[in-house]
Chain A
Amino acid sequence: MTTTTGYTADEMMTVAAAHALTSEMACFVGIGLPSTAANLACRTHAPGLWMIYESGTLGTRPGTLPLSIGDGVLAETADTVVSVPEVFNYWLQPGRIDVGFLGAAQIDRYANINTTVIGDYSDPKVRLPGAGGAPEIAASCREVVVVVRQSTRAFVDRVDFVTSMGHGRGAGDRESLGLPGAGPTRVITDLGVLKPDPQTRELTLAQLHPGVTAEDARAATGWDLAVSPDLATTPEPTAEELAVLRSLSGRE
């Protein structure tokens, strides 16, 4: 759906997510929305972005968006290709990656992520793919950016299963578990941007995309969403960003 402003809510989200990345970063990229946003960043304001996919492709620059995490195009354009134990043990675990870029099926007020089951684990309503690389990405990247469409189905008061640890039940939880990374610092949605409150670590609405109201965001959230007193508006995507994004998606 294209709005009167000439871009869709998904496009706004993807551009906003791309803006979380800079040229200096090493980024552990998940497939789907995160991959689209990272590839957009690479082709616009962050040409030096060092993209890593968990298939072991380090510093990859695919000419087209990969359909899956281990597409041949990722290997062919990578600085190097390493084994799966190496990507997790040598690159992720010691803290060499600045930002982990993750999606979610469910996320809660403390940015804990569920990609395992909806419902009870032993008798699930919906069985999802599971953890993959996400638990350790969430543990060991210096920070985590989550990209997910905002709805009451996805934004739940408490996730059914903690696949990847966000901020647990609040301030101090990550530290007490010895998790080296800062955890989710931003959740970027099709409506705006949520950030953990510096004191409580509860996700707070920090930014709205143009044309979206705080009420829209609250209505799409399964808990009583706090709104920052300094609520900002996201800059609109530029024509160049939209053109690059559409050329990427068009080839999917």
Chain B
Amino acid sequence: MIVPLDEGVRELVGDGDTVALEGFTHLIPVAAGHEIIRQQRRDLTLVRMTPDIVYDQLIGAGCAARLVFSWGGNPGVGSLHRFRDAIQHGWPRPLEIEEHSHAGMANRYVAGASGLPFAVLRGYAGTDLVGQTETIKTVECPFTGERLAAVPALNPDVAIVHAQRADRSGNVQLWGITGIQKEAVLAAKRSLVTVEEVVDELEPVPGQVVLPSRVLSAVAVAPGGSRPSYAHGYYARDNSAYQDWDAVSRERETFARWLEDEVGAPAQLPGKAG
């Protein structure tokens, strides 16, 4: 159950998989994302409500063929330049996108976690998002006749989330802003949770969210594993790292150097597309 991070990623994430690394500003599984880059996984469909800088890195490193998302940016700073480069110029490879709203993505995970084929919500009406994807349709309520949006369940091959701590049997405590992590894990076929620490026994924390070990495939210890995002009760968000990322990611050359120096992964040659 408790495995080294590299082993967890090697066993659970395969080329071509649909992979969701979730975390809503808080508890973003950055260390796991870097391990996927180091292991040079390819043709992934990356899923996430808020792809931010770790997804910028995965996309820039050439791991992703598709992105399913609802908001792609550097939170509080601006744009994701590697994401933009992939969409606007196909570098380092073209990136197909499937775009939703937050409410749509959240409900797709809920349907996935609930074992249902689709979810309904009162949304999307009048927007151009509807015309850009096959995964937004309309259904009629069988009771009132109201027209509602329908979105298909998301069931990733693997979900990866970060949490504060686990016990030795792999029960996980996660608290603070919980985002969509629980739903992503329950919707996925396999799951990996990285944690700040493993303890002998979990102290009960009011408002905690426990992911029981029986729904997880593996837990890996990764102290500081969500930096530069934050782990409530452990460390604060490194806002300056998000601001600094803008300059690092703007040019292919500086990004490639960063990838080699900071992640220890070979980068694609800048300028070589596709």
Q: Determine whether B230 belongs to the interface, using a CB cutoff of 8 Å to chain A.
A: yes
Q: Which of A68, A70, A89, A140 contacts B107 (CB 8 A)?
A: A89
Determine which of B88, B110, B125 lies in contact with A85 in the assembled complex, contact meaning CB atoms within 8 Å.
Answer: B110
The yes or no answer to B236 lying at the interface (CB within 8 A) is yes
Whether B121 contacts A93 by the Cβ 8 Å rule is yes
Q: Which residues of A contact B146 (CB under 8 A)?
A: 178
Say whether A146 faces chain B, with CB atoms less than 8 Å apart.
no
Q: Could you give, for residues 49-74 of chain B, a 1 whenever the CB lies within 8 Å of some chain A CB and a 0 otherwise?
A: 11000000000000000000111110
Q: When the two chains form the complex, which single residue of B24, B79, B127, B183 contacts A163, counting CB atoms closer than 8 Å?
A: B127
8 Å CB interface, B74-121 against A: 75-76, 79-80, 83-84, 87-88, 99-103, 106-107, 109-110, 121
User: Is B245 an interface residue when CB atoms closer than 8 A count as contact?
Assistant: no
**Smallest CB gap from B50: residue in A:** A132
- Whether the Cβ atoms of A89 and B121 lie closer than 8 Å is yes
Which of these, A72, A74, A85, A164, contacts B127 with CB under 8 Å? A164
The answer to whether A196 has its CB under 8 Å from any CB of chain B is: no
Q: Is B258 an interface residue (CB 8 A)?
A: no
List the one stretch of A6-14, A19-27, A52-60, A214-222 in contact with chain B.
A52-60
Whether A72 pairs with B237 at a CB distance below 8 angstroms is yes
Interchain CB contact under 8 A, A132 and B87: no
- Chain A residues with CB under 8 Å of B207's CB are 81
Is the C-beta of B14 less than 8 angstroms from some C-beta in chain A?
no
Of A56, A68, A133, which is within 8 A of B101 by CB? A133
With contact pairs A75-B177, A177-B125 given, residues A130 and B99 touching in the complex (Cβ less than 8 Å) = yes
Counting CB contacts under 8 A, is A83 at the interface?
yes
Is the CB–CB distance between B72 and A84 below 8 Å? no
Q: A130-B71, A130-B99, A178-B125 are in contact. Are A70 and B87 (CB under 8 A)?
A: no
Q: How far is the CA of A128 from the CA of B69 in the complex (A)?
A: 13
Q: How far is the CB of A11 from chain B (nearest CB, A)?
A: 20
Besides A135-B124, A165-B125, 5 new A-B residue pairs in contact (Cβ under 8 A), listed by A number: A130-B70, A132-B70, A132-B71, A162-B127, A179-B125
